[in-house]
Amino acid sequence: MKNKRLFILCSILFTGCQFTDQHAYQQQQVCKRLAEGYLTTQNQQSYELWKLEQGPAQEQQHTLKLTYKKPNENGLILSGVYLPTVELECTLKNQQIMVSVIQAKGALVPVLNVQLQNEAIGKPKSPDLIAQSKTQ
Q: In what order do the strands lie in the sheet with 61-69?
A: 48-54, 61-69, 85-93, 96-102, 108-116, 131-135
What integer is the mean pLDDT of 99-116?
90
Q: Report pLDDT for 109.
A: 93
What integer is the mean pLDDT of 20-30?
80
Q: What is the pLDDT of residues 33-91, one digit of tens each?
A: 999 999 999 998 888 898 999 887 777 788 999 999 888 766 666 665 577 889 999 99
Would you say the C-alpha torsion 25, 28, 33, 36 has a positive or negative sign?
Answer: negative
